[in-house]
Amino acid sequence: MSDPLLTASDIGIRRGERWIVRHVDLTVKRGDLVCVVGANGAGKSTCVKAVLGLIELTEGTVRHAPSLKIGYVPQRLTLGHTLPLTLRRLMTLTGRYPENDVAAALAAVGLERLGNPLVTTLSGGEFQRLLLARALIHRPDLLVLDEPGQGVDLAGAELLDELIDEIRADLGCGVLMISHDIKEAVARADDFVVLVPHEHDPGYLAGGADQQHSHGGSAH
Amino acid sequence: MLDDFLFRALLAGIGLALVTGPAGCFIVWRRLAYFGETIAHSALLGVALAIIIDFNLTVGIFATACVIVLAMFYLERRDTLPTDTLLGLLAHGGLALGLVILSFFPDMRVDLQALLFGDILAVSRADLAVIWIGGALALGVLCLIWRALLAATVSPDLARVAGMNPERARLIFGIFLAAVIAAAIKVVGVLLIVALLVIPAATARRFATSPERMAVGAAAVGVVAVAGGLLASANFDTPSGPSIVVIALALFVVTRVRLVRGTESR
């Protein structure tokens, strides 16, 4: 087995007196699809942001493989209409890339024939695919997706799922994905973590004392 | 030609417009208009402090503005009050404090009129040097942080995952803005400086197809507004700072009307 791309051990994030998430373990290996599942408010986004280093950990550790390249697709990105960003300009938002790489990334998500319209004129599904293309332009080792299908119709969501599988096969990258659909996660993922809302609020779950977090098993 | 005060004023105004254009774009994109107002209002406190320690006024304004920017960064992280409330507190607190301090020095004659509305016709050769050298430096800094600041404007998280430091870019932009506003107060004054930042950017927005083109367009609109405003001021004997802003506003309105008609007839 190759070394994991990313290992989170017993991580927890506290806001004030409340633990948003706690005792989470998570490992992503190359080629794996790992899902973080849970209802709204369970701390899925917080958990993933902590793993990415966007939020400081209150406890636990996160280890990235050396020189790990990450592609990130955030949950929701609202662009103000005052910023004139076109499709191709968004692709080079965080770095310069040759025209060929831009074209290849756009082709990978099926946006190559759209020309170069303003991003604000794209549909929800198109915009989500554009964000996916932007995240994979530098051929990342690890793709992190925060509910990619949200705000996209069913057909669009299925298309996104297929795209993500294709990209994983093509790049051989690991994928860490947030999903609120536990059935889908169990069916597709190599591993998953289930987060339960309020599980660390004192007295919320029966028993009250030191709660064990619901740990995902292997789907295989 | 540098002996002609109108020519010096023109050079000073154009130098400023080239910087306020791109700066104003970020003000519009990041919704920082009130932040700009706050820095401008704090200028009066800067003037008061500069007079107390007998120091250069522009440097005093810049130093105070930097303190305001840092205070804003600190207070925002504490997350206790909404941003606009914090800005209101700093803007008008600074203004009032400045006026009170100035009242202790009745012998010191401060030209409030010039401070509030600008006095571009009094620009000296030294001011010109400061504006053009400082302006070139400021634009250089903006170019260096451009990609990070733009990425942070779209999404700080995306910028950080890509290995950028959006917080640092934001802080550098804050200091940059403090410098631009300190320099621009000479031209259009405390009350009108934000107009010189916001109106050219808003005008350029209608035509821009990329952030970079919008920045260049805003600089161009600013230059036209400065030239037109100064000419109008010389011809009709109107105050120079307000004339510049009125021309900028006219450009905005005219381009808007044209555009609306254009889309209707389609």
Residue closest to A161 by CA, chosen among A174, A148, A172, A152: A148
Report residue A205's pLDDT band, with 50, 70 and 90 as the boundaries.
low
What per-residue confidence (pLDDT) applies to A158?
84
Best of B80, B155, B206 to disrupt the A interface by mutation (most A CBs within 10 Å)? Answer: B155
Model pLDDT for residues B168-177, shown as the tens digit of each residue: 999 999 999 9
Q: Chain A within 8 Å of B88 (Cβ-Cβ)? A: no
Model pLDDT for residues A117-128, shown as the tens digit of each residue: 999 999 888 999
Alpha-carbon distance values, B70 to A125, B64, B76, B173, B215 (Å): 40, 10, 10, 11, 26
What per-residue confidence (pLDDT) applies to A159?
86
Residue A129: both structure tokens together: 């695919």
What per-residue confidence (pLDDT) applies to A15?
87
Residue B218: both structure tokens together: 């805003």
pLDDT, average across residues B241-258: 92
pLDDT, average across residues A165-181: 91
Q: Which residues of A touch B202 (CB under 8 A)?
A: 82
Buried b / exposed e over B192-228, threshold 16 CB at 10 Å, is bbbbbbbbbbbbbbeebebbeebbbbbbbbbbbbbbb
Report residue B266's pLDDT band, with 50, 70 and 90 as the boundaries.
very low
Verify whether the Cβ–Cβ distance A86 to B210 is below 8 Å: yes
Model pLDDT for residues B131-184, shown as the tens digit of each residue: 999 999 999 999 999 999 999 999 999 999 999 999 999 999 999 999 999 988
CB atoms within 10 A of CB A43: 26
Whether residue A176 has pLDDT greater than 70: yes
Rounded to whole angstroms, how far apart are CA atoms B68 and B99? 17
Model pLDDT for residues A16-25, shown as the tens digit of each residue: 888 899 999 9
Whether residue A208 has pLDDT greater than 50: no
Rounded to whole angstroms, how far apart are CA atoms A187 and A184? 5
Q: Which residues of A touch B214 (CB under 8 A)?
A: 84
Instruction: Write a three-state SS string for chain B.
Output: CCCCHHHHHHHHHHHHHHHHHHHHHHHHHCCCHHHHHHHHHCHHHHHHHHHHCCCCHHHHHHHHHHHHHHHHHHHHHHCCCCHHHHHHHHHHHHHHHHHHHHHCCCCCCCCHHHHHHCCHHHCCHHHHHHHHHHHHHHHHHHHHHHHHHHHHHHCHHHHHHCCCCHHHHHHHHHHHHHHHHHHHHHHHCCCCHHHHHHHHHHHHHCCCCCHHHHHHHHHHHHHHHHHHHHHHHHHHCCCHHHHHHHHHHHHHHHHHHHHHHHHHHC
What per-residue confidence (pLDDT) applies to A215?
47
pLDDT, average across residues A194-212: 62
Whether residue A218 has pLDDT greater than 50: no
What per-residue confidence (pLDDT) applies to B51?
86
What per-residue confidence (pLDDT) applies to A213?
47
Verify whether the Cβ–Cβ distance A94 to B209 is below 8 Å: no
Q: State residue A25 phi and psi, 5-degree precision.
A: -115, 140
What per-residue confidence (pLDDT) applies to B2?
65
Q: Strand A174-179 relative to strand A33-38: parallel, antiparallel, unpaired?
A: parallel
What percentage of chain A has pLDDT greater than the value 90? 58
Residue closest to A195 by CA, chosen among A5, A4, A7, A13: A13
Rounded to whole angstroms, how far apart are CA atoms B201 and A82? 9
- Cα angle B151, B157, B161; round to 5: 90
What per-residue confidence (pLDDT) applies to B265?
47
What per-residue confidence (pLDDT) applies to B263?
60
Q: Nearest Cβ partner of B161 from A52, A82, A90?
A: A52
Q: Which residues of B touch A95 (CB under 8 A)?
A: 147, 162
Q: Chain A within 8 Å of B235 (Cβ-Cβ)? A: no
What per-residue confidence (pLDDT) applies to B3?
67
Whether residue B71 has pLDDT greater than 80: yes
What per-residue confidence (pLDDT) applies to A217?
44
Whether residue A210 has pLDDT greater than 60: no
Model pLDDT for residues B75-125, shown as the tens digit of each residue: 888 867 888 999 999 999 999 999 899 888 877 777 888 888 888 888 889
What per-residue confidence (pLDDT) applies to B29?
96
Buried b / exposed e over B80-113, threshold 16 CB at 10 Å, is eeeeeebbbebbeebbeebeebbeeeeeeeeeee
Whether residue B62 has pLDDT greater than 70: yes
Whether residue B18 has pLDDT greater than 60: yes
pLDDT, average across residues A179-201: 83
Q: How far is B203 from chain A (nearest CA, A)?
A: 11
Q: Chain A within 8 Å of B103 (Cβ-Cβ)? A: no
What per-residue confidence (pLDDT) applies to B24?
97
Verify whether the Cβ–Cβ distance B150 to A93 is below 8 Å: yes
Rounded to whole angstroms, how far apart are CA atoms A60 and A62? 7
What per-residue confidence (pLDDT) applies to A214?
47
Q: Nearest Cβ partner of A72 from B31, B154, B161?
A: B161
Query: With 0-12 CB in 10 A as exposed, 13-18 as middle and 19+ as buried, what is A83?
Result: buried
Verify whether the Cβ–Cβ distance A85 to B210 is below 8 Å: yes
Rounded to whole angstroms, how far apart are CA atoms A53 and B152? 16
Whether residue A170 has pLDDT greater than 60: yes
Rounded to whole angstroms, how far apart are CA atoms A211 and A202? 9
Report residue A204's pLDDT band, with 50, 70 and 90 as the boundaries.
low
Rounded to whole angstroms, how far apart are CA atoms B20 and B178? 12
- The DSSP bridge partners found for residue A143 are A71, A175
pLDDT, average across residues A135-147: 93
Residue A220: both structure tokens together: 């295989």
Q: State residue A59 phi and psi, 5-degree precision.
A: -150, 165
What per-residue confidence (pLDDT) applies to B202?
96
Question: Tokens 């006095």 belong to which residue?
Answer: B119
Rounded to whole angstroms, how far apart are CA atoms B34 and B82? 13
Average pLDDT, chain B: 90
Rounded to whole angstroms, how far apart are CA atoms B240 and B235? 11
Query: With 0-12 CB in 10 A as exposed, 13-18 as middle and 19+ as buried, what is B74?
Result: exposed
